[in-house]
Amino acid sequence: MELIKMYNAQRQLDEHIEKEHPRQPGEERMTMKIIALFVEASELANEIRAFKYWSTKDPSDKPVILDEIADVISFLLSIGNDNNWTDILLYHEIRHMENEDVFENDVNYMTALMFMTISEFAAGSLKQEYNMVFAVVVKFAFLLGFTWEEIEAAYFKKNQINHIRQENSY
């Protein structure tokens, strides 16, 4: 498991972004990152399409869904770095979850749970709530059929893309 490497890669990307887009006086980056986390979680839900009872269109292909998971993970890592919440405990929690039964085998329940835990974190911004969001997102990815290795690979691929985007005035 490369969770520490993921936190380090995200730290390097965030430093790159900070250099290209310095904080403005009074700007609250944590609030902005939490909003981005909600947006990325919404994009993930939109690609899965399970909640769209009115539509017969199939979900996006697995690579597109995995890319959205990588986006959610990116903001979680960034928030973790900002708060120094990168300890090894989360590593053990995630590794253990991969072998557990999913909280619920219902995609819509897990989608709602993801939003509820993000909301609880946004309201309190505590480490315990952060760890719960991370756990729910990873468990959701497992429910969708992804392995931790696929999540890691998608994250590192997206991290490289995000560095390139910063070089090209994204």
User: What residues contact residue 116 under an 8 Å CB cut-off, 6+ apart?
Assistant: none
Looking at per-residue pLDDT, the higher value among 21 and 92 belongs to: 21
Mean pLDDT of 138-162: 94
The answer to whether the CB of 158 falls within 8 A of the CB of 67 is yes
- Which residue ranges form the domains of the chain, and what is each CATH number? 3-22+34-167 (1.10.4010.10)
- Planar angle of CA 81, 102, 149, nearest 5 degrees: 50
Does residue 27 come out as left (phi exceeding 0), alpha (psi in the -120 to 50 range) or beta?
A: beta
pLDDT-derived band at 94, boundaries 50, 70, 90:
low
The answer to whether the CB of 148 falls within 8 A of the CB of 95 is yes
pLDDT of residue 110 exceeding 70, the answer is yes
58/123 Cα distance (integer angstroms): 34
62/53 Cα distance (integer angstroms): 20
DSSP state of 23: P
pLDDT-derived band at 92, boundaries 50, 70, 90:
low
Q: What's residue 96's pLDDT? A: 60
Mean pLDDT of 18-33: 93
Q: What's residue 168's pLDDT? A: 86
Range of lowest pLDDT (32-41, 135-144, 151-160): 135-144
Q: What's residue 20's pLDDT? A: 87
Q: What's residue 145's pLDDT? A: 93
- Name which of 112, 85, 110 is nearest 97 in CA terms: 110
Whole-number CA gyration radius for the chain: 16
Mean pLDDT of 70-91: 88
Identify the burial level of 99 via C-beta atoms within 10 angstroms of its C-beta, where 0-12 means exposed, 13-18 middle and 19 or more buried.
exposed
Q: What's residue 1's pLDDT? A: 62
What residue type is 23 in one-letter code?
Answer: R
DSSP state of 126: -
CA atoms 166, 18, 39, 146: torsion sign? positive
How far from each other are the two terminal CA atoms of the chain, in whole angstroms? 30
Mean pLDDT of 11-30: 94
